Structure formats: C-alpha cells, structure tokens
A and B are shown apart, each in its own frame.
Chain A
C-alpha cells in the first residue's frame, strides 16, 4: 500500500493541468484537473459553469485506452470544502473511467466509475474534507484488474463511498473518516480526534490472484462512521481479512509546571469488528460498521461468514470478532492524585483446521458513557478437523492513588463466556451472547452447544473481581471473588451445551448454567460443575472460601442440570434437576472455608435423577447431595473442622433404586455428617 501511495505522490513530472472556476455574489466554485497519460489514452471532458439559479459547475469526463494513466481531479467551494479524485494505472491493458461532478459553493457531489484491467499497479482514490474533517475511499491492486465506482458527497457532512471489484495481487479497499486536532503550546498539549474506518484485503501466495467484491462507505459530520458490505473476499491460498473500527481521543496535558505540577486529563475509546480467513480456498463475507458519536463508539458485523478449505495437508483458520474498550486517565500532581480506569468487552468466533466455516448473524461491540458491551447472535463455527471456539468477555480496571493520604486502590473485574470443540467433526453454536461492563461485568449466552464427532467439546462462563488496597508503597489488603460454571466432554460424539449461561461480577459474583449438559457416547468421559470462591487476605486461615458442585463420568454417558454459583453470601454452589447416567459416574459437593471443609462424593453406575447438589462455604461449611439412584452406588460424606477440631464421616452404598440424602457440615460447634438412603 505504501508503494502505491508513493507513486501517487511522485507522478506528474510531465503533465497538463487545467483549471476552471466561477464566482458570483461573493461565492465561488472551482475544479481542476491533472492529466499525465500515455499517448494511447483518449481523454475527453466538459465542464459547465452555471450562474442563473445559483452558482454551480457541472463536470463530466471520460478516459479510455491502454497504457499509463495518472489523473487527479480536484474540487473546492467557497464554503470551505475540498475534494479530490485520483486514478492511477501503470501499463494497463485498458482503462475506462467515467466521471461526473456537481459543485456548488456549499456542496459537492462527485462520481468516478473506473475500470482498469491488466495493470502492473492500479489505484482509485476519492477524498473529501470540510472544516478540518475528512473522509476518503481507496481501492488498489497490483498485477490485476480493478473496477471501482467511488463517490464523494459533501453538504455539511462528508460521505464517501465505493463499490469495488478487484482481482489481482493484494487487492485492497478501505474507507476512512474523521478528524484530528493537535495543538501543542509551550508546555501544553491538547488533542481532540475521532475517526472510523473499514477495510478489506486479500493475498494469495500461489498464483498471486485473489479477489474482493465490496461496497464501502465512510462519512463524518458530528461523528465519524464507516460501513462495509463485504460481498466476498477470496484467495486460493493465503489470507483474506476485513475489519471496521472507530475511535475517539480527548487529551489535555499541561507540563508547564514541571513534574510537580503535571496535569493530564485524557480519555479514549475504540471499537472494532473483523473477519479473517487464513489457509486454502479462503472466503469471507459480511457487513461491517463502526462509528463514533455522542453516545459512544461502536462496531458491528452482520451476516458474517468465513470459510476455507483443505488442500493436501495444509490447514487454515477463520475468525471473526468484535471488541470495544475505553481508557481514562487523570493526573494532577499539584493536588496530589493519580487515577485511571479502563474497560473492554469483546465477542469472537473462530475455527482452525480443515474445512473451517463460521457464521455470525451479528457481532457487535460498543463503548460509551453507558459502559462497554459486546454482542453476538446466531454464531456458528464448524470444521472437519481442528478446533472451533466462540467466546465473549468483558472486564474493567480502576485505580487511584492519593499522595496526600498515601492511600490507593486498584480494582478489577471481569466476566467471560466460552464454547469450543476440538477433534474431528467439530461444531459450536451460540444463539445469543452478550458481555457488558458498567456497574458490573457480566456475560450472558443462550442456546449454547458444542460438539465434536471425535474429540472434545466444552462450554462455560465465569466472573471474578479483585481489589487491592495500598497504604504507602505496600499492599495492605487483597480481596477477590469468583464464580464459574462449565461443562465438557471428550470422546465420540462429545457434547457440551446450555440453554443459558451467565456470569456476573459486581458487588459479588455469580455464574449460572441453566440446562447445562455434558455427554459423550464413548471415550474418556464428560464433566460438569459450578464453583464459587472468595479470598480475603485479612481472613483467618488460608483466606479462601470455596464451594463447588460437580459431576463427571468415564466412558459414555450424560450429566445435566441447572448449575449455579455465587459469592453473595460467601461462596455457594448448587445444581438442581441433576440428571446423569453412565457406567462410571461421579458427583461431588465440596465446601472449604479455609479452616473447615465438608464433602459429599457419590459414585454410581446407572442413572441419577431429580438430583440436587449444594455446597456452601462461609462462616460455616456445608455439602449436600440428594437424588434418586438407579443402579449400583456408593456415597461418602465427610466433614472436617479445625476450630473446634472435629471430624465426621459416613457412607452409603447399594444396588437398586434408592433415594439418597447425603449431607456434611461444619459450624462453630464441630463437624457433622448425615447419610440416608431409602429404597424406592
């Protein structure tokens, strides 16, 4: 790309320039042309300056023929706009360019429809600017052909667009819009800027020919935005990619008072979305948008598809993602404080292996005063062999230090969702997923499934936070908490899924897996569980409080239930409506508060239904399991306490149909267990 831009700048040593301007009533419009073309190229054009019914210039032109073409057409109006069109073709077998423009003192509409074939290098560029803001479109390719219809519309706002089809080496199209004010004074710095862009490119390493078919637009007025309809971007062997992003920055800095009077107040936010494919027979498509505005910065992609194929033993990958984040910093050393914060959210899907395919109805991310959010809908990923994954996450980080009180705090929280499959015949699907930060960090996913014909599949969600208190230069206290749910399976027809997965970190943490399921026909096995944990460095004992419920099986079978973990009232983990079957199945409920613990462990071969698992770790501990076992089973309950020092253990076993009720707990009086089985 840099090479093409340099060529654009360096051309024009032998050329004809033409100027045409008109004025009336203190207003003016102007158009100028620069032509450096081979003799083999035919050029014709006409311009008409109108004075009745408002000042205007209408222009049309045609350029055709083989050879070198370097043409620039510029426009300006007395209201302050400027526009430019560039056409560059080096040693083309043919160029056909049809252009038209309508200029008034306050508005510009320009269209360039350019077709270049067989050129060593070719590019078409359109730019527009007004009041310090600008927008542009760029299309280029080497050793190939290019068809691009580009427009510039300026009327208060600026909009540029291109509808482009390119084939050749490194076909590239992009559009940008925005502004940047950079003011540097004696000891001061002030930056205001925002921008948006969209781009698509492709590269082929075999025959060098790859293709792009897209419709891009970028504009700026009170905000900046970019839009891209990537109808297709392909390469036989290599890589294709498309992305859209937007960002905003606002910075004030004053260094005039030296380090002791340093003042910095800055804020930045950005959002992006992208699609990519790397490998053989790569193809991507989708609609991408990104924008800034008073409401924040966002990026989204819809109808996203990415795929690639195998060739010999070559492998490839496809991915799509959207993410957004912001960053703020404040430094006022004169008043003695430093503070800063950052938050981010993202969602993505990918596949690596053979015959990868991903689709996403929507991938979006945004950030602003409301917080930061990412969203995905109708996400699917599959391949014949390799791995596929979908994930969403959100997190935030805040910190501050007061030099006057010599105290500071650093806080962080995050939430994450993931689903993946690896092996052969992999597939994941997510109906909807959303990750946000704001007052809390949370992630919610619905209709999640991950499966592998022969391999592993898993899904889960987790959330956590940590807070570090600083006094002087040392850490005074650390507190942390987290909750997670998850399911996974390894073997033939491995499956993991959930109707709903949720993880949230706010004043406390919570993780939910409704309809959480793990199954496998045959193989290593499957597992499922929920865990909640807290940590406080000031707490007696280890400082940890951990509660978990889980199940796993070896061989074939299934485990499902509604799993939940939270740290609202210390650490709690529960599972309701638990169903499990298999030849070698294990269910566990465990609680540990750092000084005492309670555990229930059940092993069975058969079916476990209507089950309930629960664990709690706080001022006391408790572990519980209830349910109906059909088959052979053995269940142990054990409680252990250090203050007072105590221990209790019971177990039950049987072969038939039983309702079991197993419980272990500890409190400030000791350790206790209860074991019941009733024949049904």
Chain B
C-alpha cells in the first residue's frame, strides 16, 4: 500500500498576547446601570506566508505488524489583528489534493489612542469619544483542487463587524479559488450619555473588505455575508446554499465608514466556532469521525 502524506497550510498563534498592545474604554451610568465597554487588542507586526501542497491522501502502515492509519487531511488557519480575522478549516478523506496559498498581514499598534469627553454647561448630555488609529491590512489568496471520498472546506473573513465566507461540505470533487483583501484604517467610537442613562453608543471602524471566490463543487456550497452598522446591527445580510454540482463565481466588496465592532459570536458556528475546544496540535486524534462530526452540516 502506498502511503501518501499531505502537509497543509498551517497558521496559528500569530499574535502573542504577551507582546500585544491593548486598551479598554468604558462608560458606566451609575443611575440605571447601563454601560458601554470596548476592548481592543493589536500589535505591530508583519506576516508573509506562501506555500503549495500536492499529493494523495492514502492509508499508511505505521508498524511492522501492519497497523494502518486511516487516511485523512486536516488543517486550519486563524489570523487575527485588531478584529480583522481570517479563519480557514479544511478536512478531507482519501483522495487527491492540491493547494496553493499566499497570506500577507500587516498590523500597527503604535499610535496613541485618544479619549475625549465633554459636557456643555446648561446640559446634562455627555459626549465621550474614542479615537484609535491602529491600521491592519490582511490579504490572502488560496486555490484548492480535490477528488476523493470527501472534503469539507470552509473559510470566513471578518473585519470589525463585517464578515463574509464560504463553506463547501461533503464534496467528492472540489476546486476553488479565493482572494481576500481586508483593511482597517482606524476606529472611532462615540458614547452619548446623561446622568440618567447611556443614550447611545456608536462604534465606527473605517474598514473595507473584498472577498472574491470561484468554485466548482459537488456537495454542499454555503455562501454568506454580513455587514453591520455602528451599533453592531446587521444592515446587509445574505446566505445561500447550493447542494449538488455547481460552478460558482462570487465577489463581495464591503466598504463602510460607520461600522460596528465585530460581534464575538461567529456565524460560522460549526467547525470555526464549534470546534474551538479541539487543540489544533493534536492532529493524531482527528480521525475521520471527528472531522466529519465537526463538519456537522
């Protein structure tokens, strides 16, 4: 039996919390208990990564007695800087697999973060503002071709409240090409409060997100996007599912002056959210069952 081994793009732990810069901004109204808090974390850093993979996913014998490991491929990537995120999950069974990818991440967290507050005479209206200038640029391209027993491939790009992504599940044949370009310029927040309550709180990250995908799939193809306003409420939302054999071309571009901070609840709740408790380093424990139980849809 020929044993094939596939090495997959792996990105992990890009930002060390020990070296990161962060700040917390909060407003509490003592009268009614209303509050607004925001915590941001970033770092001044640079990441460039490129690679390609081509191979067969096959069983391999690991002992002289002939013990055979089931063939599988798995990998994930988590990139995050100042709420600009890219998450990728891939799990495949026996088959032929090839992939290429390029990632470029630039992040700065050196500029001052400024807070101002003002209450004019004759008014009980407080205006409290926050100004952050910690830019992030994240560009990533990836191509993938697979033929075999089955593959799940999912990704999600999130940028300070906006998100876009695709999930290809239970595909015996999958090819896709994806380009992501995200930029965060700055963040402004404004809280308006009286002595009685917090009247409103707006968070304005100036950001842009471009997501471009071309695919051929034979299983389930889910496409989603979400754009939020300055208070975190979705203002543009889309979700599509294609079951069967499809050729899909999609380009999403979101540019907003007033956007809200990313909700920590990821709408990709399955592998991305639901498998967060799986240690990505424990690859040996990821068997076929685990992978596809995780890819639950």
Q: Which residues of A pack against B, CB within 8 Å?
A: 12-26, 33-37, 39-52, 64-65
CB-defined contacts of A48 to chain B, threshold 8 Å: 112-115
CB-defined contacts of B15 to chain A, threshold 8 Å: none
Are B24 and A19 in contact (CB-based, < 8 A)?
yes
CB-defined contacts of A37 to chain B, threshold 8 Å: 119
Query: Complex Cα distance A42/B122, Å?
Result: 8
CB-defined contacts of B112 to chain A, threshold 8 Å: 48-51
CB-defined contacts of A52 to chain B, threshold 8 Å: 110-111
CB-defined contacts of B126 to chain A, threshold 8 Å: 16, 35, 43
Are A20 and B18 in contact (CB-based, < 8 A)?
no
A34 to chain B: closest residue by CB: B30
CB-defined contacts of A20 to chain B, threshold 8 Å: 23-26, 115
Query: Complex Cα distance A143/B182, Å?
Result: 61
Q: Which residues of B pack against A, CB within 8 Å?
A: 18-31, 37, 109-124, 126, 128, 193, 195-196
Report 16 cross-chain contacts, Cβ distance below 8 Å, ordered by A residue.
A16-B28, A17-B26, A19-B25, A19-B27, A22-B22, A23-B22, A24-B21, A35-B126, A40-B121, A41-B119, A44-B117, A46-B117, A48-B113, A49-B23, A49-B112, A52-B110
A43 to chain B: closest residue by CB: B119
B-side interface mostly: strand
CB-defined contacts of A35 to chain B, threshold 8 Å: 119, 126
B127 to chain A: closest residue by CB: A44
B124 to chain A: closest residue by CB: A39
CB-defined contacts of A44 to chain B, threshold 8 Å: 116-119
Are A19 and B119 in contact (CB-based, < 8 A)?
no
B18 to chain A: closest residue by CB: A26
CB-defined contacts of B124 to chain A, threshold 8 Å: 39
B113 to chain A: closest residue by CB: A49
Are A16 and B27 in contact (CB-based, < 8 A)?
yes
Extra A-B contacts (19), CB below 8 Å, given A13-B31, A21-B23: A17-B28, A17-B29, A18-B117, A19-B27, A19-B37, A21-B24, A22-B23, A22-B113, A23-B23, A24-B21, A36-B195, A40-B121, A41-B119, A41-B121, A43-B126, A48-B112, A49-B112, A51-B111, A52-B110
Contacting residue for A13 out of B24, B30, B37, B116, CB 8 A: B30
Question: In the complex, how many angstroms separate the beta carbon of B108 from the nearest chain A beta carbon?
Answer: 10
CB-defined contacts of B26 to chain A, threshold 8 Å: 17-20
Contacting residue for B120 out of A26, A42, A47, A51, CB 8 A: A42
Are B121 and A12 in contact (CB-based, < 8 A)?
no
CB-defined contacts of A12 to chain B, threshold 8 Å: 30
CB-defined contacts of B115 to chain A, threshold 8 Å: 18, 20, 46-49
CB-defined contacts of A41 to chain B, threshold 8 Å: 119, 121
Are A47 and B109 in contact (CB-based, < 8 A)?
no
A23 to chain B: closest residue by CB: B22
CB-defined contacts of B109 to chain A, threshold 8 Å: 51
CB-defined contacts of B116 to chain A, threshold 8 Å: 44-47
A44 to chain B: closest residue by CB: B118
For B20, B29, B117, B118, the residue with the greatest tally of chain A CB atoms inside 10 Å of its CB is: B117
CB-defined contacts of A26 to chain B, threshold 8 Å: 18
CB-defined contacts of A46 to chain B, threshold 8 Å: 114-117
For A17, A46, A51, A65, the residue with the greatest tally of chain B CB atoms inside 10 Å of its CB is: A51
Question: In the complex, how many angstroms separate the beta carbon of A36 from the nearest chain B beta carbon?
Answer: 7
Known: A23-B23, A47-B114, A51-B110. A14 touches B195 (CB 8 A): yes
Are A42 and B121 in contact (CB-based, < 8 A)?
yes
Are A42 and B28 in contact (CB-based, < 8 A)?
no
Question: In the complex, how many angstroms separate the beta carbon of A187 from the nearest chain B beta carbon?
Answer: 44
Question: In the complex, how many angstroms separate the beta carbon of A394 from the nearest chain B beta carbon?
Answer: 56
A39 to chain B: closest residue by CB: B124
B125 to chain A: closest residue by CB: A39
For B19, B109, B115, the residue with the greatest tally of chain A CB atoms inside 10 Å of its CB is: B115
Known: A23-B23, A25-B18, A26-B18. A14 touches B114 (CB 8 A): no
Question: In the complex, how many angstroms separate the beta carbon of A93 from the nearest chain B beta carbon?
Answer: 14
Query: Complex Cα distance A152/B30, Å?
Result: 27
CB-defined contacts of A34 to chain B, threshold 8 Å: 30
Known: A15-B31, A16-B29. A40 touches B23 (CB 8 A): no
Query: Complex Cα distance A15/B30, Å?
Result: 5
Contacting residue for B123 out of A21, A22, A39, A49, CB 8 A: A39
Query: Complex Cα distance A550/B123, Å?
Result: 84
